[in-house]
């Protein structure tokens, strides 16, 4: 009924004109456009900032997960000829000739190190093959297959050529495949990585598992605190709020290190366990440098991110709802569970998402206290960024992580609804 009214109003509006004769709709749009322009002007500094310093760098970095022009730029002749090679037949003399041309140039341009690094990732041991051969490349004579074989026998092995073929792909799924424990072969097929080399899937699962446990643990610990704070008088709750925020005043590193002092073998917790007879002095609990340590330290560090959104939502819930429920005959528990808790869902949702997303990308804490079974995917992204310098693989792992997070967001949106989230 009301919608019908609106429709009839719409048709009458179309014919309306302002005092100077311009159609009302047009005039309205003009004035709205000015407002929109103003709004855009206000956000544009931030928009530009985010675009250039956040979106663009991330996009460029992730792009590296599928884009790797290094080999084909530095070894153009070889790359050209490798494109037509099927990856299994015997390499031809033309291929060897192209290789020597590229090696001579690479040596001259001091780019041979990059080429060697790239191919070495596909086939171990080829780094020195490239660097040492390049030194002699200018003196090599045709037939090149024979003279290269004389320098190193590896040149006539098909694996070397297959590695080069894989490296010469500019657009490649190789790194994403590697991030998922698969392997891209020279003939374009993708096969599962050998069993004792599979690591990433396990890491992704472990990362999700740790994040989920940390989220649940901080919900279980944070909900009662938030409830207490929301039900106390303002002065007391402000004091509690300061206590909750206190950890933010110290650096993450200090807090993590403090947990090491607390949880280590000769640490405070274990000393207490020994004093109270929960553990033998020479058989203490391993609470740190493993997954347990990561879970404890991360739950503590991320707890405020759970407490604050829940608290801010709880604060807005009038006590009359629970009273109403009780007056309607609900027990304390029913009133809490059926009436109070559902109203805190927006806060719980926001807190859980916040903690989960933060946890999934956490890396300092697991790096410091993770030991061997507490490492997360971000530690390996960091490893490939800083240590092994395999930025393509790091980007591919980041890409997979991003896809997983977006997928989880999608699930969350379907189940809870993203607009049903409230930070305060």
- Sequence-separated (6 or more) residues with CB below 8 Å from residue 206: 291, 373, 375, 376, 377
Binding residues among 245-284 for other proteins as defined by CB under 8 A? 260-261, 264-267
110 is a contact residue toward other proteins (CB under 8 A) = yes
- Closest Cα partner for 356 from 396, 403, 298? 298
Binder among 225, 390, 396, 400 for other proteins (CB under 8 A): 390
Per-residue CA distances from 346 to 20, 198, 245, 321, 409 (Å) = 49, 39, 21, 17, 15
Distance CA 114, CA 106 (A): 9
Cis before 227? omega within 30: no
Binder among 3, 5, 35, 124 for other proteins (CB under 8 A): 124
Phi, psi of 184 (to 5 degrees): -90, 125
The distance of closest approach from Cβ of residue 289 to other proteins in the complex, given in angstroms and rounded to an integer, is 5
Q: What one-character-per-residue DSSP string does 41-97 give?
A: HHHHHHHHHHIIIIIHHHHHHHHTTTB--HHHHHSHHHHHHHHT--SSSPPPHHHHH
Q: How many CB atoms lie within 10 A of CB 50?
A: 12
For residue 178, the surrounding DSSP H or E stretch is: helix 174-179
**Residue among 167 and 217 whose Cβ is closer to other proteins:** 167
Binding piece for other proteins, criterion CB under 8 A, among 45-53, 119-127, 182-190, 407-415: 119-127
Binder among 103, 137, 180, 203 for other proteins (CB under 8 A): 203
Binder among 320, 414, 415, 419 for other proteins (CB under 8 A): 320
92 is a contact residue toward other proteins (CB under 8 A) = no
Binder among 82, 112, 350, 399 for other proteins (CB under 8 A): 112
323 is a contact residue toward other proteins (CB under 8 A) = yes
Distance CA 320, CA 336 (A): 12
342 is a contact residue toward other proteins (CB under 8 A) = yes
The distance of closest approach from Cβ of residue 318 to other proteins in the complex, given in angstroms and rounded to an integer, is 6
Compute the chain's Rg from CA coordinates: 31
Distance CA 335, CA 350 (A): 23
Size of the site for other proteins (CB under 8 A): 63
The distance of closest approach from Cβ of residue 243 to other proteins in the complex, given in angstroms and rounded to an integer, is 27
Binder among 335, 360, 395, 396 for other proteins (CB under 8 A): 335
Binder among 9, 189, 318, 419 for other proteins (CB under 8 A): 318
The distance of closest approach from Cβ of residue 210 to other proteins in the complex, given in angstroms and rounded to an integer, is 13
The distance of closest approach from Cβ of residue 41 to other proteins in the complex, given in angstroms and rounded to an integer, is 29
**Residue among 23 and 76 whose Cβ is closer to other proteins:** 76
Burial of 279 (0-12, 13-18, 19+ CB in 10 A): middle
x-marked contacts with other proteins along 128-157 as a string, rule CB under 8 A: x--x--------------------------
Cα end-to-end span (Å), the chain:
36
58 is a contact residue toward other proteins (CB under 8 A) = no
Binding piece for other proteins, criterion CB under 8 A, among 41-49, 149-157, 190-198, 347-355: 190-198
Binder among 367, 405, 408, 416 for other proteins (CB under 8 A): 367
How many Å separate Cα 26 from the centre of its chain? 46
312 is a contact residue toward other proteins (CB under 8 A) = no
303 is a contact residue toward other proteins (CB under 8 A) = no
Phi, psi of 360 (to 5 degrees): -65, -30
Binding piece for other proteins, criterion CB under 8 A, among 163-171, 183-191, 300-308, 337-345: 337-345
Binding residues among 17-56 for other proteins as defined by CB under 8 A? none
Per-residue CA distances from 218 to 224, 238, 240, 364, 416 (Å) = 10, 20, 17, 19, 19
**Binding footprint of other proteins on the chain (CB under 8 A):** 109-114, 116-117, 120-121, 124-128, 131, 196-199, 202-203, 260-261, 264-267, 288-289, 318, 320-321, 323-332, 334-335, 338-339, 342-343, 345, 367, 371-373, 375, 380, 383, 385-390
């Amino acid at each position: 009924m009301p919608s019908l009214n609106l429709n009839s109003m719409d048709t009458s509006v179309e014919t309306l004109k302002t005092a100077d004769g311009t159609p009302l709709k047009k005039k309205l749009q003009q004035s709205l456009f000015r407002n929109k322009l103003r709004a855009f002007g206000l956000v544009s500094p931030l928009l530009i900032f985010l675009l250039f310093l956040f979106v663009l760098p991330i996009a460029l970095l992730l792009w590296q997960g599928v884009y790797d022009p290094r080999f084909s730029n530095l070894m153009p002749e070889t790359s050209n000829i490798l494109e037509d090679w099927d990856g299994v037949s015997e390499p031809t003399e033309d291929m060897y000739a192209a290789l020597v041309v590229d090696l001579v140039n690479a040596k001259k341009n001091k780019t041979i190190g990059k080429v060697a690094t790239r191919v070495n990732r596909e086939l171990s041991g080829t780094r020195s093959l490239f660097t040492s051969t390049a030194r002699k490349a200018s003196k090599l004579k045709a037939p090149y297959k024979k003279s290269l074989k004389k320098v190193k026998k590896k040149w006539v092995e098909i694996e070397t050529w297959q590695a080069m073929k894989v490296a010469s792909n500019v657009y490649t799924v190789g790194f994403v495949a590697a991030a998922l424990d698969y392997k891209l072969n020279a003939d374009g097929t993708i096969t599962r990585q050998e069993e004792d080399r599979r690591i990433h899937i396990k890491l992704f699962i472990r990362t999700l598992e740790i994040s989920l446990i940390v989220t649940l643990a901080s919900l279980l610990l944070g909900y009662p605190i938030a409830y207490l704070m929301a039900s106390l008088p303002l002065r007391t709750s402000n004091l509690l709020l300061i206590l909750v925020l206190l950890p933010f005043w110290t650096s993450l590193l200090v807090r993590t290190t403090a947990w090491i002092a607390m949880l280590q073998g000769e640490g405070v917790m274990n000393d207490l366990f020994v004093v109270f007879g929960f553990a033998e002095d020479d058989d203490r609990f391993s609470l740190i440098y493993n997954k347990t340590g990561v879970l404890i330290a991360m739950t503590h560090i991320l707890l405020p991110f759970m407490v604050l959104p829940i608290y801010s939502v709880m604060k807005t819930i009038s006590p009359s709802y629970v009273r109403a429920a009780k007056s309607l005959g609900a027990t304390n528990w029913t009133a809490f569970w059926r009436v109070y808790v559902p109203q805190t869902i927006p806060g719980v949702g926001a807190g859980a998402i916040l903690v989960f997303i933060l946890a999934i990308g956490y890396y300092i804490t697991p790096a410091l206290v993770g030991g061997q079974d507490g490492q997360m995917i971000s530690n390996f992204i960091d490893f490939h960024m800083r240590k092994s310098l395999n930025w393509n693989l790091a980007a591919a792992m980041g890409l997979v992580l991003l896809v997983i997070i977006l997928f989880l967001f999608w699930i969350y949106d379907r189940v809870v609804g993203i607009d049903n989230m409230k930070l305060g």
